[in-house]
Amino acid sequence: MDTSPTEAANDIHSSMARHLLGGRWFGTALFQRCERSWVRCGAVCYLRIANDSRPRCYFLRGKSRVASLKVVTVPRLEVSAAVVCVQLSKLVTYEMEINFTTITFSTDSVTVLQYIRNTTRRFNVFVANRLTVIHSASKVCQ
């Protein structure tokens, strides 16, 4: 009997989840890191599983974007990298179908952190639109 591509993908997905989460485990944490350079911005996502013996970390997915041909300022690139990170987090949490105990975002950009924490100032349209995406999919404490 032939299986549809969707059923085959679901079988692969469930076997991957059983492999990663086999045995007793106490918590799952999702860690994302976003970075930028002059030419591109990107994000990476890791899964940390705490089980009986010792915690294990797995690379889940990475995503990158090429910067536009127009000259873009560094803070704009950093905010774009944070948006890629949030989108990657949404994708991974949807695909993995696991209730993560913690979801953590990380960046080395103080500018982005200040943008995210600031709720009183009005930003230009580019930054404001990206902050809306970030605020809709995450909390400030993450």
CATH code of the domain in which 124 resides: 3.30.420
| Tens of pLDDT, residues 109-141 | 888 888 888 878 888 898 888 888 888 888 877
Full residue range of the structural domain in which residue 127 is found: 24-137
Q: Is residue 100 part of a domain?
A: yes
| Tens of pLDDT, residues 54-97 | 788 888 888 888 877 888 888 888 888 888 899 898 888 888 87
Strands (E) across the chain are located at 25-36, 40-51, 56-66, 102-106
Q: Is residue 37 part of a domain?
A: yes
Instruction: Give Rg (Cα) of the chain.
Output: 18
Q: Is residue 121 part of a domain?
A: yes
d(CA 111, CA 68): 20
Q: Is residue 28 part of a domain?
A: yes
- How many structural domains does the chain have? 1
